[in-house]
């Protein structure tokens, strides 16, 4: 297939493009580098000379170039990952998030319709659920986004759903829980440039001595050890869910949404202790006050994706923490 991967220079987009190219698909990558740089693009270009084409463009504002990319490469499928993703940054700068993420999706849909490209797999987030009393969370839970980032992700889902309901495209939203680890090729590592990152980015920053200690927000939540619990999933498993989704969407019409997690909650403290134990590294951490907006528990019910796509995760906590450190340890 000709597959357009937006956000192809990102933490998930680059290894996804790699796996698709390895399988023999042609991949057209798009990225503005707003949260990345050309490093991963160069690696893809070196490894897949003729099959990978890349375009640097801002999807939220460059609709003419997007149109010419579709004209030239005629994608059969779009996997839309391009977005800004920091919850904390979105609270500080909501307009940036709403405009960047929503306008990009609006433009993608517009150009897909214009060129008769029917299939889209969208990278959504468990953040759309907000605070849910019932865990694990099923896809039919009422979404209550509590940050501009989560609002933007839900708004994009709605845009895709509305267009699919009019019969113009077929779409699947994958609500990722907490991807960590690194791709089995060991070629790609996550960008650590933005101020407040995911918990694994913050652990890595301390391991790399970029920060002196790790802040753990709150230790009196009603969880096993008082710290928040999340559904961490290995990036290779997450990519596997995309490959299943591609097979699935080819014979699917309409719109649907799927959780992508392991279904097993892991506390933040357990994650940190496992990182220390399996990587034999010293990570200083300090408990501080709860962070407004943080949810005690958040993990996926994976029955739906398991039933409909025959997908479930394979990798456990040990592999996740070891693989989260590998790309950085190779640099040392
Ligand atoms: N990593 C996570 O923890 C996580 C969790 C849930 C959902 N997601 C979603 O998965 C997707 C990919 O996440 P990631 O971890 O690879 O993030 P990332 O920041 O590493 O990659 C996203 C890429 O999109 C690019 N981008 C952003 N806006 C763009 C625009 N307007 N035009 C062109 N390119 C643009 C960025 O430069 C970046 O390279 C995002 O949509 C994110 O919301 C990620």
Residues 79-126: pLDDT tens digits? 999 999 988 889 999 999 999 999 999 999 999 999 999 999 999 999
Catalytic member of 149, 176, 221, 255: 149
The tokens describing 324, both together, are: 């989260």
- The pLDDT assigned to 294 comes to 79
Going by C-alpha positions, the residue among 233, 199, 232 that lies closest to residue 216 is: 199
Index of the ligand 1 atom closest to the CA of residue 84: 27
Contact 5, 16 (CB under 8 A): yes
Domains of the chain: 2-181+232-260 (3.40.50.720), 199-230+264-329 (3.90.25.10)
| Average pLDDT over every residue of 136-155 | 96
Q: How far is the CA of 307 from the centre of ligand 1 (A)?
A: 28
Bin 41: left if φ > 0, else alpha if -120 < ψ < 50, else beta: alpha
How many angstroms is it from 224 CA to the middle of ligand 1? 31
Compute the distance between CA of residue 201 and CA of residue 181 in angstroms, rounded to an integer: 10
What is the distance between the alpha carbons of residues 155 and 149, in angstroms, rounded to a whole number?
A: 10
**Ligand 1 geometric centre to CA of 55 (Å):** 16
CB 113 within 8 A of CB 168: yes
114 phi and psi, to 5 degrees?
Answer: -60, -35
The single residue listed with the structure tokens 């991949």 is 27
Tell me if 83 CB under 6 Å of ligand 1: yes
pLDDT in tens, 276-289: 999 999 999 999 99
Other CB atoms within 10 Å distance of the CB of residue 103: 17
Q: Report yes or no: 155 and 103 within 8 Å, Cβ to Cβ.
A: no
Q: Residue 277 corresponds to which tokens in the numbers above?
A: 């134990």
Bridge partners, residue 327, by sequence: none
- Tell me, using a 6 A CB cutoff, whether residue 129 lines ligand 1: no
125 lines ligand 1 (CB under 6 A): yes
- The reported pLDDT for the residue numbered 194 is 57
Q: What is the pLDDT of residues 289-299, one digit of tens each?
A: 998 767 889 99
The ligand 1 atom nearest the CA atom of 198: 3
Per-residue tokens: 166: 């009019």
Query: Residue 193 above 70 pLDDT?
Result: no
pLDDT at 240 over 60: yes
Element containing residue 122 per DSSP (H, E): strand 119-125
Which atom of ligand 1 lies closest to the CA of 191?
20
Which of ligand 1's atoms lies nearest the C-alpha of 103?
31
Residue 191 has pLDDT above 90, yes or no: no
DSSP character at residue 98: I
Instruction: Supply the pTM of this predicted model.
Output: 0.96
Return d(Cα 33, Cα 52) in angstroms, integer. 17
Rounded CA-CA distance 6/56 in Å is 10
pLDDT at 189: 83
Answer yes or no: are the C-beta atoms of 136 and 188 closer than 8 Å: no
CA 91 / ligand 1 centre spacing (Å): 17
CA of 244 to the centre of ligand 1 (A): 20
Any atom of ligand 1 within 6 Å of the Cβ of 104: yes
Q: Which strand ranges, in their side-by-side order, compose the sheet holding 297-298?
A: 266-267, 229-230, 297-298
Q: Is the pLDDT of residue 234 over 60?
A: yes
- Pick from 4, 99, 115: nearest CA to 61: 99
Question: Active-site residue 255, yes or no?
Answer: no
Is there an atom of ligand 1 within 6 Å of 54 CB?
no
């Amino acid at each position: 297939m000709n597959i357009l991967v937006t956000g192809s220079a990102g933490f998930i987009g680059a290894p996804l493009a790699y796996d698709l190219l390895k399988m023999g698909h042609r991949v057209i990558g798009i990225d503005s580098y707003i949260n990345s740089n050309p490093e991963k693009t160069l690696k893809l270009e070196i490894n897949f000379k003729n099959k990978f084409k890349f375009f640097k463009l801002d999807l939220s504002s460059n609709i003419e170039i997007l149109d010419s990319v579709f004209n030239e490469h005629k994608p059969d499928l779009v996997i839309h990952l391009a977005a800004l993703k920091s919850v904390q940054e979105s609270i500080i700068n909501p307009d940036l998030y709403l405009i960047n993420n929503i306008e990009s999706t609006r433009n993608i849909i517009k150009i897909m319709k214009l060129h008769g490209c029917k299939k889209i797999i969208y990278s959504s987030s468990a953040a759309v659920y907000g605070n849910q009393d019932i865990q694990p969370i099923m896809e039919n839970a009422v979404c209550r986004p509590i940050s501009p980032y989560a609002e933007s992700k839900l708004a994009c889902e709605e845009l895709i759903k509305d267009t699919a309901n009019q019969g113009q495209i077929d779409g699947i939203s994958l609500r990722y829980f907490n991807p960590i680890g690194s791709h089995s090729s060991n070629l790609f590592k996550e960008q650590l440039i933005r101020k407040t990152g995911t918990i694994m980015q913050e652990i890595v920053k301390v391991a790399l001595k970029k920060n002196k200690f790790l802040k753990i927000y709150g230790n009196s939540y009603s969880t096993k050890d008082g710290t928040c619990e999340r559904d961490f999933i290995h990036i290779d498993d997450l990519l596997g869910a995309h490959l299943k989704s591609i097979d699935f969407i080819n014979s699917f019409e309409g719109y649907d949404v799927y959780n992508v997690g392991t279904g097993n909650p892991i506390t933040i403290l357990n994650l940190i202790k496992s990182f220390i134990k399996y990587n034999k590294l010293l990570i200083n951490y300090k408990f501080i006050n709860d962070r407004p907006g943080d949810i005690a528990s958040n993990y996926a019910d994976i029955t739906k994706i398991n039933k409909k796509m025959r997908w479930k995760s394979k990798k456990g906590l040990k592999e996740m923490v070891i693989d989260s450190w590998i790309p950085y340890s190779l640099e040392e």
